[in-house]
Amino acid sequence: MIMSVKCGNIIFFLLMGLMFSWPLFGAERLPVKDIVIIDPAHGGDDKGVKLTDDQNEKDITLKIAQALQKELQASGNTTVQLTRTADRDVPVAERIKMVQSSGARMLISLHINAGFGKKAAGYEVYFPGFNTAPVGKNGGKNGAAGIIKDMAGNKHLNGSVALAQNIMRNLQDLFPRKERGLRDAPVPVLEGLALPAVAVEIGFATNLEDKKIITDEKGQKAVALALSKSIREFLRQRN
């Protein structure tokens, strides 16, 4: 009788142990999804540059953003949020607020270039400059807070540069020998964000060859694929 009770107790505790350990051993752990923000520039009354009679910059950036979202989310380990999902006005402040509250790993803002004559062609990648910490009376950084801000800012700046370099390399196949460089310039939607962020000018609306690519559905998908590859490379580099 004592042996029977002991055996029953042992079996009971074994079963309880298996129940509590089941999430660890019996079920596959789901990978943590990376959150990526894609910003289709313009929208609503803000049409951006005109490409054809029925296509403006706002239309192209949204189409590419949607294709990019579909491509990235197909892998199952990336969540892509768009700052706008339809043709509507979205103030810059609202876009920035969305990014700040999302917990995203990175941001890409999509644009179409124009001007500089009909011969200007290719793509440009912009990233925001880093604002250094306040300078103290003796010319040094403003204590520990300034040093920490400096380190954090450089981390995001380095991330922006790494992301931009990936994009430049992968768009090169679509716009051969037309890369116009990596540039540091103020971009309102990127300012003050604590994450790697870049703006991509995808070809020139004023160039016939570029316009043919970016107004064509296959060309838009090719751009989305190049950007998707760039983002995946970046996330692998940072994980």
Q: How many H-runs (helices) and E-runs (strands) does the chain carry?
A: 6, 8
Q: Are residues 85 and 22 in the same domain?
A: no
> What's the confidence (pLDDT) of residue 28?
45
Q: Are 164 and 198 in contact (CB under 8 A)?
A: yes
Q: Are residues 121 and 13 in the same domain?
A: no
Q: Are residues 4 and 62 in the same domain?
A: no
Q: Are residues 42 and 65 in the same domain?
A: yes
Scan for tokens 């943590």, then name that residue: 32
Q: Are residues 108 and 141 in the same domain?
A: yes
Q: Are residues 110 and 85 in the same domain?
A: yes
Domain that holds residue 80: 31-238
> What's the confidence (pLDDT) of residue 155?
73
Planar angle of CA 226, 130, 115, nearest 5 degrees:
55
> What's the confidence (pLDDT) of residue 37?
98
Task: Provide the domain count of the chain.
Answer: 2
- Tell me the two tokens of residue 122: 């290719």
CB half-sphere exposure, 117, CA atoms < 13 A = 2
Q: Are residues 110 and 191 in the same domain?
A: yes
Q: Are residues 26 and 57 in the same domain?
A: no
Q: Are 226 and 174 in contact (CB under 8 A)?
A: yes
Q: Are residues 85 and 193 in the same domain?
A: yes
CA distances from 207 to 65, 116, 172 (A): 22, 10, 17
Q: Are residues 99 and 203 in the same domain?
A: yes
Radius of gyration of the chain (CA): 24
CA distances from 43 to 17, 61, 102, 197 (A): 56, 9, 21, 20
pLDDT averaged per 10 residues, the chain (length 239): 46 50 44 88 97 96 98 92 97 96 96 91 81 39 42 71 93 85 81 92 94 96 97 90
- Tell me the two tokens of residue 87: 């043709």
> What's the confidence (pLDDT) of residue 239?
75
> What's the confidence (pLDDT) of residue 178?
82
CATH of residue 157's domain is: 3.40.630.40
Q: Are residues 44 and 119 in the same domain?
A: yes
